[in-house]
């Protein structure tokens, strides 16, 4: 039986490690440096234009979330192996599966914390820059951005980060760090951009490319499910809870599969 206490002990170390790193703060400063000057551009003297700011801000949030999730998860176990600190850790009464899960939970929580910080800045920024309605104050306009759609979008993005972290963690046990970083970044960005079009691409391609694309469609995680940017930017309203539940179930099943795979690989690994 897995011990939650032991898993949390390993996770806490990973979480603290991320807080000590400065990646998140650098990303935050970079986002502010890019978005704030953009908000001052005068478009033909017309004021209150916000959607392009939402577009750029959300693009940066997605970009940074991919970078932070992948770089955090990819270094966890290989780092321990490289520094040989894995041996004293495993000398304690802790299972290998608990180490893998602890590392995963730590990375996922760290990436989630960074993501929530980004979204907090996003809500504040877009809320403050948008034009308040006649009967609302600027603060009320800011709070209005924290609606159901925003909550669901954050939940979907968190699910994306958890899945990406799990995939990177699994990759870190079978690939070198650089190869894993490259592959995970390619899969994440590729699926975000082309995931929805894969069946159409497969139809238009010739054998064997068509088979490979179709296989990718069935096997690779569909990261495009989680992209709520259009919904948020153009105010399309909240998701249907039923489909949201299906996506979250899909995420949990995929993460469970990846964690079982990671545990099996790590159990067989010679240290």
Identify the CA nearest to 163 among candidates 78, 70, 240: 70
Residue 76 or 126 with smaller CB distance to other proteins: 126
Single out the residue of 120, 243, 252, 260 in contact with other proteins (rule: CB under 8 A): 243
* Site stretch for other proteins (CB under 8 A), options 75-83, 120-128, 168-176, 192-200: 192-200
Identify the CA nearest to 78 among candidates 221, 262, 264: 262
Identify the CA nearest to 76 among candidates 157, 8, 18: 18
Residue 119 is given by DSSP the state H
Alpha helices (runs of H) in 130-228, residue ranges in sequence order: 138-144, 148-174, 177-194, 198-204, 209-219
Single out the residue of 225, 255, 262, 263 in contact with other proteins (rule: CB under 8 A): 225
Single out the residue of 15, 101, 129, 247 in contact with other proteins (rule: CB under 8 A): 247
- As a residue count, the chain comes to 271
Strand partners for 46: 43
Q: Binding of other proteins at residue 230 (CB under 8 A)?
A: yes
Residue 15 or 60 with smaller CB distance to other proteins: 60
Q: Yes or no: say if 213 and 202 are a contact pair by the CB < 8 Å rule.
A: yes
Single out the residue of 28, 32, 49, 202 in contact with other proteins (rule: CB under 8 A): 49
Q: Binding of other proteins at residue 222 (CB under 8 A)?
A: yes
Single out the residue of 5, 20, 44, 135 in contact with other proteins (rule: CB under 8 A): 44
Residue 176 or 204 with smaller CB distance to other proteins: 204
Identify the CA nearest to 256 among candidates 185, 120, 162: 162
Single out the residue of 236, 245, 257, 267 in contact with other proteins (rule: CB under 8 A): 236
User: Rounded to whole angstroms, how far apart are CA atoms 64 and 117?
Assistant: 12
Report how many residues bind other proteins under the rule CB under 8 A: 31
Query: What does residue 46 show for φ and ψ, rounded to 5 degrees?
Result: -90, 130
Task: Considering only residues 126 through 145, tell me which ones interact with other proteins, judged by CB under 8 A.
Answer: 131
Return residues touching other proteins (CB under 8 A): 41, 43-46, 48-52, 131, 195-196, 199, 217-218, 222, 224-225, 230-231, 233-236, 239-240, 243, 246-247, 250
């Amino acid at each position: 039986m897995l011990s939650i206490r032991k898993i949390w002990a390993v996770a806490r170390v990973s979480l603290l490690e991320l807080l000590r790193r400065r990646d998140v703060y650098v990303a935050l400063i970079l986002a502010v440096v890019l978005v704030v000057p953009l908000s001052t551009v005068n478009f033909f003297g017309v004021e209150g234009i916000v959607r392009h700011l939402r577009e750029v801000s959300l693009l940066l949030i997605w970009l940074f979330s991919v970078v932070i999730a992948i770089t955090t998860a990819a270094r966890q176990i290989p780092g321990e192996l490289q520094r040989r600190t894995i041996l004293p850790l495993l000398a304690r009464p802790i299972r290998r599966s608990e180490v893998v899960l602890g590392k995963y939970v730590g990375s996922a929580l760290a990436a989630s914390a960074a993501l929530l910080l980004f979204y907090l800045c996003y809500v504040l920024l877009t809320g403050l820059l948008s034009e308040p309605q006649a009967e609302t104050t600027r603060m009320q306009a800011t709070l209005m951005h924290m609606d159901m759609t925003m909550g669901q979008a954050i939940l979907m993005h968190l699910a994306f980060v958890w899945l990406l972290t799990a995939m990177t963690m699994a990759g870190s046990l079978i690939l070198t760090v650089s190869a894993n970083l490259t592959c995970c970044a390619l899969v994440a960005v590729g699926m975000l951009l082309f995931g929805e079009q894969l069946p159409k691409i497969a139809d238009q391609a010739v054998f064997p490319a068509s088979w490979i694309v179709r296989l990718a469609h069935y096997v690779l995680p569909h990261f495009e499910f989680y992209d709520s940017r259009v919904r948020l930017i153009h105010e399309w309203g909240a998701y249907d809870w039923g489909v949201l539940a299906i996506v979250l179930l899909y995420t949990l099943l995929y993460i469970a599969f990846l964690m079982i795979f990671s545990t099996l690989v790590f159990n067989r690994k010679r240290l």
